[in-house]
Chains A and B, each alone.
Chain A
């Protein structure tokens, strides 16, 4: 029996016993979702790189593989995970970041975690080890269940293995800083994203706009001359801090304010919500620190066609939903899908909705 089969058999046992499971990697993203009452299932026993062929632009690794290990292997061959996964701990696993569906600053320009996933092996709620997708760029055989797993927080299956598209690291990355307010920044971010320049990140920290350019030195130079502004010396450090929530904006973790992630159309004007905002993803992802009630935040975001995820409860009751509540028809469909993958309801029950 392979390690993956052994792992799957544990889920099969739990299915037979109707024993709920709490799926865990390193716990770096344990805060992102409702607590799960269940027997721990540690994904880190499935660890290691399964296949890596740089000229194929694909890496395959087990779900429990530490992301740092993965990144190091890619780095040695001059490649990278284009979606710049947030780690939130140096122990973070590949399966964890995929299950949470998290992507870093490069996301609007290079794709999200789900965009880069080519295939998975998953264990469903019956303990079956299933393979979907593959290791090739184009694959439309069967429903895209691999991508459905991304951001499902383990409630549809445990990611035992994943194949991801990788890309060459850009020859150079440089960052420009321009003084402007949030509304000017939103306008500028969208304007530059519509131009054929090698833009790879765009963020506004409340006072200044930061634009990162990546690619061949000559192309980046040309774009820098075109955009103007000052060059920011600590390019790598800045984007790492934004990605990892180590930027000063994220420093306060207290009972006075909650931290929200707002996903909105990139051109959405400032929402005018009380508190402070950091704008990332070229306007499409906004971090909000506020003492406003959850309903106020969610109503404002829903009105512009977005959704809000609660990263830090602060003053809000622990029962406040972490994820944006779904419309009733959508909730019914989600429930039907959960039952299709996990008929006994043992995979991270209640993780996404607080009620199992």
Chain B
């Protein structure tokens, strides 16, 4: 009997037939996540619905030395949930129950497969909400959010997932249940909650999450400002913040994104603007009023050609819909697009935008820019056609160059999408060998056999050496101490 059949038989003992998929046609829906350029069919898909079943699956995989890739809704954009050909894809999608809402303590205990937006919907009757709002919030799950440390458009003021989660229950590869954090604000020992958040399924499998809920602001207002110069828009962003205003959201779009979004959702964007800023201010009436004066003054001084205040909730939603639909909107004007996720210090924005424009010309691929301007997180979208031979490869190379530019100005290769499979080579640019070795040591403390999501998030030094050999940066080989293969 092959190893495959032995594992399959063992899994059949703990999972019902509809919880265990192994036929080709059943596996296909799981072959990629939101990054569809990378595809791989798993050996098996497990769909447990009880924690004991997840424990048993993990124990069996550990016993059979079989890789395990956890998956929520599969909306991730970095290939973090890309299956392993010789492994089990562990779907947590059936863990979709909200276990407990405590409106007084302002916390909710939820299963990992609960959708991000479903939490805010469930607690809305108490005047509360869950703050992180990635643009996939209608579909993405909280377990995936924790694994990726997801952000959204309100991070500058309200933080990322790591700031809004109080506890997780985590299963180790041996099926041991760890309770990390809880309803208190901190816990004894090391801050494992911070370590787990954003660990991309490499350290354990999340089976429960306790989230923090915030009171909904009384008033939310959105300003739309148009600029005929991208740099002026960028400077307005820094100046609004320098004036002491922390907007709930502060987003920027360039002309190509504006036009794509306007064609798609008719948000009322000025299609002739070089850039627009969307600035959301929230709080009490008095607070919003005070901030509005400051922001309007900055926008005026910086030469905004048009400043519009959303007249009502409907217009506010319309302003946002253009931004939130920017990715699919760009998808309509190009056969394929590739979404990047670098973060830079805000002051470097004009420099990086120029750099991207140069690279775009050099690679002959258009790039649209949408930008969480408040926190420096940019999403350049590279437009390409996968059916043209070599174009995907050229796109990936251009993407890599953009990320390296982000690192060069003091930023990072990923702000909120994660490294996954996609940015694994750029990790070699951002981190030195000793740092990567430290990451591997942390991984080994949780998962010595390396069975959880193998090959993702942290490159091996060999991989970096190969990448470095292909890719000489500023005339200097990265990781010069390594042998070249």
- Please list the residues of chain A having a beta carbon within 8 angstroms of any beta carbon in chain B: 53-58, 78, 101, 107-108, 111-112, 114-115, 124, 128, 130-132, 134-145, 147-148, 150-152, 156, 167-169, 171, 190-191, 193-198, 215-219, 221-223, 263-267, 281, 284-285, 305-307, 309, 323-326, 329-330, 333-334, 336-337, 339-341, 352
Contacts and interface: CB of A to CB of B under 8 A. Distances in A.
Given A142-B427, A307-B186, 10 more contacts: A134-B411, A136-B376, A141-B414, A143-B195, A193-B215, A198-B284, A263-B185, A267-B104, A336-B444, A341-B441
Nearest to A54: B242
B297 interface: no
B253 interface: no
B415 to A, nearest CB: 4
A114 B191 contact: yes
Nearest to A53: B347
Interface stretch (B47-55, B157-165, B475-483): B157-165
Contacts of B239: 55
B410 A263 contact: no
Contacts of B216: 196
B435 A334 contact: no
18 contacts: A55-B238, A101-B186, A128-B438, A131-B432, A137-B377, A139-B412, A141-B412, A143-B195, A143-B439, A147-B195, A194-B106, A195-B215, A196-B218, A216-B291, A219-B290, A265-B184, A307-B184, A323-B188
Contacts of A101: 186, 191
Interface stretch (B5-13, B26-34, B331-339, B416-424): B416-424
B187 interface: yes
A329 to B, nearest CB: 5
Interface residues of B, number: 93
A140 B375 contact: no
B60 interface: no
Nearest to B103: A194
A196 B217 contact: yes
A132 B441 contact: no
B375 A142 contact: no
Contact of B445 (A111, A151, A281, A340): A340
Interface of B: 102-107, 126-128, 148-149, 151, 155-156, 159-160, 162-163, 176, 178, 182-192, 194-195, 197-199, 202-203, 215-218, 238-239, 241-242, 244-246, 283-287, 289-291, 343-347, 372, 375-377, 410-419, 423, 427, 430-432, 434-435, 438-439, 441-446, 457-458
A334 B343 contact: no
A140 B435 contact: no
Given A138-B415, A305-B184, A340 B191 contact: no
Contacts of B375: 136-138
Given A107-B185, A138-B151, A333 B446 contact: yes
A179 to B, nearest CB: 22
A194 B149 contact: no
